[in-house]
Chains A and B, each alone.
Chain A
Amino acid sequence: MPNGFLGYNFGGPSRGGFVPQRLQNLCIRDHAARHGLVLSFSVSEYFDAAPALMLFSQFEHIGALDGLIFFSLALLPGDRKRRAAFYARMTDSGKELHFALEDLVWTPGRPWKDIDRLYRLRFDSRPDDNRRALQKLVAKPPGPA
């Protein structure tokens, strides 16, 4: 008998920003309440978030849960292969995945494409690099060819 959803947050700076854990948990609890979900408790990722060790350890007992509620899409593993492995484990589990801040839900059977595209568009730094290059070009135009 599943015991509700597990919240997932991170105590350190993430993607250039920092959100106190208390606020992350408020956001997770609000999401659970609005969607009528039972929240059992929340776990925090280790301070070195990249390997997502705490996240992956939840698969050892995912059968006892209804699913996971991430504070944000930003907490998905940054490494593409690690992220793909996470998607595969979630698919195998047959459980739901929620993103509280973005109010997004992945349900079993749906493709991961939409979620992963949003993640990559959101955290791709190349458009910012392009903007900086464009601003330089505007400030100092090249001379005639």
Chain B
Amino acid sequence: MSQNMPPQTRRPHAAAFVQDGFCVVPSQQVSILESVRADVVAYLRSMTKGGAGLTDEAYLNAFHKFSAPTALNDVRVGVHKTLGSSEVFRQKVFACARHHLEDLVGNEIVMQRQVGVVIQAPRDPAGLLALHTDCWSGCSPYEVVLWIPLVDVHDTKSMYICDRAQTERHLREIKAGPAPESTAALARRVRPGAQDLRMKFGDLLFFSSILMHGAEENQTDETRFVLNVRFKSLFSPYGTKAIGETFLPVNYLPATEVGLDYEGEFGAVHA
């Protein structure tokens, strides 16, 4: 193909994404990101007593002091239902990332219907997701995951990730067999080469759904608060997470508007 394609010029974060399968960038819309975080904090304050006078960041970091471990799952579900599926909240999250996202998936985008919320209190073993790649659970390899820490994250307060080369090497080994006998065995094999992500509030992580990643028990003294949501190009191939069911269009470009209207009335043009 190379002799027929012009050389591609990519912005640095897009080049990093191709090279590593992920990139960390500062959001161009920090005020909107602060508003997203304020929405989360306002909801939590309406559900839970304590933390009066704390800044949003301090409140989230200390959230485990205000919510009993047994109540944490109800809080998590409440945030997910109330904010995660709110169209206004969803649009704000998209606005935080749009500037960079368009370089990764194009400018005709579908977005996951629910924005995921991860709350991990210190030394809470519940709710951890073992090492995995999203493709193993049916995500399209054309998807990009947006991971937004609402607090500064580091060490076990963050997540770990394998870059593209490491992921592909592990996948080849798994394909060649023998298959790992457990998720723990797989993690023992993969974890040493994985990177711990250190990010500040205001940073965005974009990573390919092919990458191996996971999170461990939070051994810090602060709560991990993260949002995650998936994006892809409207017309790139879908996995088992379908349009309508999992994804909804964020926008249609003019030619798509015209084409969809034409085919809706006059039928598809088949070769």
- State the A residues within 8 Å of B (CB): 72-73, 80, 99, 101-104, 113, 116-122, 124, 126-128, 131, 137-138, 141-142, 144
Contact status of A142 and B4, CB under 8 A, knowing A113-B264, A122-B244 = yes
B263 touches A120 (CB 8 A): yes
A118 touches B243 (CB 8 A): yes
Q: Closest residue of chain B to A118, judged by CB? A: B244
Stretch at the interface among B91-99, B143-151, B209-217, B232-240: B232-240
The 5 closest A-B pairs by CB, nearest first: A102-B244, A118-B244, A141-B1, A102-B245, A122-B243
Q: Closest residue of chain A to B1, judged by CB? A: A141
Q: Closest residue of chain B to A143, judged by CB? A: B3
Q: How far is the CA of A141 from the CA of B5 in the complex (A)?
A: 11
B268 within 8 A of A: yes
Q: How many residues of B contact A (CB 8 A)?
A: 22
A131 touches B244 (CB 8 A): no
Q: Closest residue of chain B to A79, judged by CB? A: B267
Q: Among A80, A119, A121, which residue has the most Cβ atoms of chain B within 10 A?
A: A121
Q: Among B3, B243, B263, B267, which residue has the most Cβ atoms of chain A within 10 A?
A: B243
A117 touches B235 (CB 8 A): no
CB distance from A130 to the nearest CB of B (A): 8
Partner of B243, one of A121, A128, A141: A121
CB distance from B88 to the nearest CB of A (A): 18
Q: Closest residue of chain A to B114, judged by CB? A: A103
Contacts of A126 in B (CB 8 A): 268
Segment 236-257 of B: residues with Cβ below 8 Å from A? 236-237, 242-245, 248-249, 252
CB distance from A26 to the nearest CB of B (A): 16
CB distance from A100 to the nearest CB of B (A): 10
B3 touches A141 (CB 8 A): yes
Identify 11 new A-B residue pairs, CB closer than 8 A, beyond the known A117-B260, A121-B234, A128-B237.
Answer: A72-B245, A80-B267, A101-B245, A104-B244, A117-B249, A117-B264, A118-B249, A122-B242, A122-B244, A137-B1, A144-B3
